[in-house]
């Protein structure tokens, strides 16, 4: 017989999921009600409004897709791209490559704009791509690259798309609530995110928002989206509000309780305060890491405060360090992905994980484990540097 | 400011979600760990084995899709159907129609075999469809139609598919754990279900299983599935076990804790005992409903014990009855869908909801509400009939 599963209490300082606050776990476990219950329908309306705040948008089509961020990505592509289209896809990490896969599975052509892993997307190169491909109908890029910790200039890229009559699809999985993201002010047309990063909700749901221009393009499609589950024309009918609500699928009721609670917490803190908190803890972390003799992959201007890619020092065993942090300290950090596999760690301070205590926990635990590996570190100096960064 | 959401404690006797046991809600709220944590990887292996038991299969490709049942449906079609294929689709309720949508979005042709809502799929008509369309490569049908409460003869239909060299795609959303379903013995090739029906887990996840024949067809595809998120070649890499595990998407960690717990509970009770429980409570419910002067839509032989479609008596206000049950008794039953909208209620006794106490609660509450509507009912006689059915 298989026994019940009792996970340990980890501190999650990887690329997501981040630590989920007790308030959110409590909401998650409230009694399940029907997905057509009038009270649940009210909850859905609340979630839409709270997501509009998080995305800084008035887009009517703002809702959580009932599946993880990669389904949110796919929802944007299958609804906005049709066979024969040209899409300019920026790749400076793992997720640009996944966008390309999506474009090609839609029967469209992906024009790739590539930048080094750890660099931001080059706005100039995207301008050149538009000049070479005036037929491009969509520009797709990642605002905050989870695989490298690099931010790109989403505002400039959205402006460039608009200037060339293209829609901008923006991956904001790691960006949302961690750094400024102004969907309406920047003119982003389709933006998807995930619940398990800076919202500090459980993984499994993907908030999305579509501009009026995007909705017009969806409604003008000659043939329906290739996905039934992700067809926004149908999803809209379900989330569309009021008495017009048409059954599409059974909403993940409890996961939406949790998302609601995490968005209520974001509203209570305020977006600007959340951004400032992420920045403050990031700066302290970097000060401490540098005091340990470590360096970051991304140039200061483009660093994401919520995700820090750190060069693995020579002679240090990547997997052994991560395993020791996990087993000795119940502390998770992320491995490098793709071009950074084996070369970098990804240290996340996302959402509820972005707290002063976690900065100290990480610095002291990492110093201890690096010390075991013969890489001598001064934990005291690291903590002192972090404390100084906080102004202590 | 939006306040936290506190749902009431409903008794869920609709078409799903069903009541979620406290054990499962407790598991759901355990601390989130990383989706690549070694302990989580062990949990995934447990879930695969427990799902193999629930499906009665040794299929290696047995796992939970990280999205609701309609995504599980789509996973079966996009992986097994290619443009130009012919698929025989049986429709005797809502979900056959959804299968057709899936087939057509894959660029294939759906040959429809239609039966009346409430009737089982006609095996003879399916035989005729295969005779007229020997090129058909897939047969798709619903084992337990959630919209009508009718069971179809899945064993005979799977045998027919095999006889004609076609794969059988089986919708077992409402069937799994409520009625016998023998994936290997019957030769079903791709079966999808949902967590929120007879497993009594929270909604949002879709268990699926694929036979070796199905896996061969997936591996022989000339071009990849049109969905990246649901591409089983990629999902297999993630769920494939051991050190070969490749990152695909972030698993819905807490939802999988809950699924694990609900499957542990199923294993503890035993499949046969669960089937017997559903049958026993169904028989008592029917005895009580008949004592109230109500009748069922489906003929006795084809009734699903877990979902009972009941004719709405003439002169009774459908919506008013459901609203009164919900507000006065915190009790949810389902409305009719499609051809049965306004004509039938759907009373579910699924999973944890299938309990003797709920039979009495439903009968007494329904009698009270029908009485308010001027449809005089003898609650005492209904309860007595139910008790007699239990042998009390």
What average pLDDT does this structure show over A318-335? 98
The pair of structure tokens assigned to B136 is: 């058909």
Cβ contact B229–A67 (<8 Å): yes
- The residues facing B89 across adjacent strands are B112, B140
**∠ at Cα A247 (A246, A252), nearest 5°?**
130
Residue B376's pLDDT is: 85
What own/partner pairs with CB < 8 Å and gap ≥ 24 does A368-373 have?
A368/A328, A368/A329, A369/A321, A369/A324, A369/A325, A369/A328, A369/A329, A370/A292, A370/A313, A370/A316, A370/A321, A372/A324, A373/A315, A373/A316, A373/A317, A373/A320, A373/A321
Same-domain status, A259 and A275:
no
The dihedral built from the CA positions of residue B90, B94, B99 and B101, taken in this order, carries a sign that is: positive
Q: Is B346 annotated as a binding residue?
A: yes
Residue B244, pLDDT > 80, answer no
In the predicted model, what is the mean pLDDT of residues B89-114?
Answer: 97
Q: Select from B1, B3, B5 the residue whose CB has the most chain A CBs within 10 Å, as the one to mutate to test that interface.
A: B5
Amino acid A238: pLDDT = 83
> What is the DSSP pairing of strand B307-311 with strand B344-348?
antiparallel
- From the list B8, B10, B250, which residue is nearest A17 (CB)? B250
Q: List the structure tokens of A380.
A: 């005291």
- Residue A382 falls within a domain, yes or no? yes
* Chain B interface, best mutation among A32, A40, A76, A226, by max B CB count within 10 A: A32
Among A226, A229, A254, beta carbon nearest to B70: A229
Using CB atoms, which residue from B101, B204, B226 is nearest to A252? B204
- Which of B239, B267, B295 finishes a domain? B267
| Residue A93 shares a structural domain with residue A234 | yes
- Rounded to the nearest angstrom, the minimum Cα separation between B322 and chain A is 11
Judge whether A52 and A58 are in contact, CB under 8 Å: yes
pLDDT at residue B241, rounded to an integer: 58
Both structure tokens of A327: 């087993």
Q: What is the pLDDT of residues B123-147, one digit of tens each?
A: 999 999 999 999 999 999 999 999 9
Structural domains in chain B (count): 2
Q: Which residue do the tokens 């300082």 mark?
A: A13
DSSP 3-state of A109: strand
Tell me which of B32, B105, B331 to substitute to probe the interface with A (most A C-beta atoms closer than 10 Å).
Answer: B32
The reply to whether A320 falls in a domain is yes
Centroid of chain to Cα A369: 29
Q: What integer pLDDT is reported at residue A376 of this predicted model?
A: 85
Same domain, B94 and B190: yes
Q: Under an 8 A CB cutoff, do A66 and B67 touch?
A: yes
Choose among A29, A228, A257: nearest Cβ to B5: A257
For residue A146, being part of any structural domain is answered with yes
* In a domain? residue B10: no
**CA distance, residue B388 to nearest chain A CA (Å):** 31
Contact B152, B121 (CB under 8 A): yes
For chain B, helix (H) and strand (E) counts, in that order, are 14, 13
- Of B225, B240, B267, the residue that ends a domain is B267
What is the Cα–Cα distance from B203 to A34, expressed in whole angstroms? 10
Taking the C-alpha atoms of residue B257 and residue A5, their distance in angstroms, rounded to an integer, is 7
CB distance A340 to A150 below 8 Å? no
In a domain, A8, yes or no: no
Cross-chain residue pair A5–B46, CB shorter than 8 Å: yes
Provide the 3-class DSSP secondary structure of residue B280.
helix
Query: What are the E-state strand segments in chain A?
Result: 11-13, 61-65, 86-91, 109-114, 138-142, 144-145, 150-151, 167-171, 190-192, 206-210, 307-311, 331-335, 344-348
Asked if residue A15 belongs to a domain, the reply is: no
Buried/exposed code over B47-76 (b: 16+ C-beta within 10 A; e: otherwise):
bbebbbebbbbebbbbbbbbbbbbbbbbbb
A229 contact residues in B (CB cutoff 8 A): 67-68, 70-71, 73-74
Whether residue A57 has pLDDT greater than 80? yes
pLDDT per residue as tens digits for the range A376-388: 889 999 999 999 9
Shared domain for A41 and A130, answered yes or no, is yes
Say if B9 falls within a structural domain.
Answer: no
**Quick check: B33 and A8 CB within 8 A?**
yes
Contacts of A26 in chain B (CB under 8 A): 29
Q: Is the pLDDT of residue B122 over 70?
A: yes
Q: Is the pLDDT at A196 greater than 70, yes or no?
A: yes
Q: Is B349 helix (H, G, I), strand (E, B) or coil?
A: coil
What's chain B's average pLDDT?
A: 96
Statement: residue B76 has pLDDT above 80: yes
Rounded to a whole number of angstroms, the distance from the CA of B256 to the nearest CA of chain A is: 10
Task: Specify the pLDDT at position B243.
Answer: 57
Cβ count near A20 (within 10 Å): 28
For residues A206 and A173, give the distance between their C-alpha atoms in angstroms, rounded to a whole number. 8
- Rounded Cα gap, residues A345 and B347, in angstroms: 53
Whether residue A262 has pLDDT greater than 90: yes
- If one counts every other C-beta atom within 10 angstroms of the C-beta of residue A283, the result is 16
The residue whose two tokens read 């609340």 is: A46
Q: Are B353 and B347 in contact (CB under 8 A)?
A: no
Looking at the structure, tell me whether residues B91 and B137 fall in a common domain. yes
- Give the side-chain half-sphere CA count within 13 A for A311: 13
Domain range spanning residue A368? 271-389
As a whole number of angstroms, the distance between CA B137 and CA B79 comes to 13
Residues of A in contact with B73 (CB under 8 A): 229
Same domain, A364 and A338: yes
Distances, alpha carbon B88 to alpha carbons B103, B304, B307, in Å: 9, 24, 26
Contacts of A103 in chain B (CB under 8 A): none
Are B158 and B205 in the same domain? yes
Residues contacting residue A247 through CB under 8 Å, at least 6 positions apart = A36, A238, B337
Q: Last residue of some domain: B217, B237, B267? A: B267
Residue B378 in domain: yes
Both A190 and A319 in a single domain? no
Indicate which CATH number applies to the domain containing A349: 3.90.1150.10
**Mean per-residue pLDDT, B368-383:** 93
Considering only CA atoms, which of B55, B50, B64, B74 is closest in space to residue B249?
B64
| Nearest CB neighbour to B1, from listed A105, A227, A267 | A267
- List, in sequence order, every residue forming a beta bridge with B110; answer none if it has no partner: B87
Residue A48: is the preceding peptide bond cis (ω within 30°)? no
Q: How many CB atoms lie within 10 A of CB B351?
A: 32
| pLDDT class of B245 with cuts at 50, 70, 90 | confident
For the segment B349-375, the average pLDDT, to the nearest whole number, is 96
Tell which residue, B190, B234, B183, B294, has the closest CA to residue B66. B234
Q: Are residues B185 and B281 in the same domain?
A: no
A162 and A197 share one domain: yes
In the block, residue with structure tokens 């635990």: A365
**Chain mean pLDDT for chain A:** 96
Whether B71 sits inside 8 A of A249 (CB atoms) is yes
CA distance B257 to B47: 9
Measured between alpha carbons, how far is B259 from B254 in angstroms, rounded to an integer? 9
**Co-location of A96 and A238 in the same domain:** yes
- What ipTM was reported for this prediction? 0.97
Residue of B1, B3, B7, B173 to mutate, testing the A interface (most A Cβ within 10 Å of its Cβ):
B7
Cis preceding linkage at A17, omega within 30: yes
CATH number at residue A125: 3.40.640.10
Please classify residue B245 by burial: count the beta carbons closer than 10 Å to its beta carbon, then call 0-12 exposed, 13-18 middle and 19+ buried: middle
Q: Helix/strand/coil (H, E, C) string of A153-185?
A: CHHHHHHHHHHCCCEEEEECCCCCCCCCCCHHH
Helices vs strands, H then E, count in chain A = 14, 13
CA distance A107 to B83: 13
Interval B163-220: pLDDT, tens: 999 999 999 999 999 999 999 999 999 999 999 999 999 999 999 999 999 999 999 9
Structure-block tokens of residue B270 = 């035993």
Same domain, A216 and A172: yes
Q: How confident is the model at residue A392 (pLDDT cuts 50, 70, 90)?
A: confident
């Amino acid at each position: 017989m298989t026994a019940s599963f009792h996970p340990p209490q980890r501190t999650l300082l990887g690329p997501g999921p981040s630590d989920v606050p007790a308030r959110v776990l409590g909401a998650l476990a409230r009694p399940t009600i029907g997905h057509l219950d009038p009270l649940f329908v009210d909850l859905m309306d609340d979630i839409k409004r709270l997501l509009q705040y998080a995305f800084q948008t008035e887009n009517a089509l703002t809702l959580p897709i009932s599946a993880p961020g990669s389904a949110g990505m796919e929802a944007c592509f299958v609804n906005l791209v049709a066979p024969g289209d040209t899409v300019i896809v920026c790749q400076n990490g793992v997720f640009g490559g996944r966008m390309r896969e999506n474009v090609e599975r839609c029967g469209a052509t992906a024009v790739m704009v590539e930048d080094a892993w750890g660099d931001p997307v080059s706005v100039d190169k995207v301008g050149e791509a538009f000049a070479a491909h005036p037929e491009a109908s969509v520009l797709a890029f990642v605002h905050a690259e989870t695989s490298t910790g690099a931010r790109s200039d989403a505002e400039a890229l959205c402006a460039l798309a608009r200037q060339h009559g293209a829609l901008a699809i923006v991956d904001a999985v790691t960006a949302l609530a961690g750094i400024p993201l102004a969907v309406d002010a920047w003119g982003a047309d389709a933006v998807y995110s995930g619940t398990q990063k800076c919202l500090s909700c459980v993984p499994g749901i993907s908030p999305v928002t579509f501009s009026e221009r995007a909705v017009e393009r969806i409604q003008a499609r000659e043939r329906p989206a290739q996905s039934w589950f992700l067809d926004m024309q149908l999803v809209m009918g379900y989330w569309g509000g009021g008495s017009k609500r048409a059954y599409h699928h059974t909403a993940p009721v409890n996961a939406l309780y949790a998302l609601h609670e995490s968005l209520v917490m974001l509203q209570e803190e305020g977006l600007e305060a959340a951004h400032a908190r992420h920045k403050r803890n990031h700066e302290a972390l970097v000060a401490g890491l540098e005091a340990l003799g470590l360096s970051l992959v991304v140039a200061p201007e483009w660093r994401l405060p919520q995700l820090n890619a750190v060069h693995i020092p020579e002679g240090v065993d990547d997997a052994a360090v991560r395993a020791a942090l996990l087993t000795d300290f119940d502390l998770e950090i992320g491995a490098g992905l793709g071009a950074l596999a084996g070369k970098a760690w990804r240290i996340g301070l996302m959402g509820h994980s972005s707290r002063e205590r976690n900065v100290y926990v990480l610095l002291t635990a990492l110093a201890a484990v690096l010390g075991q590996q013969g890489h001598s570190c001064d934990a005291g100096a690291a903590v002192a540097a972090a404390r100084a960064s906080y102004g202590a």
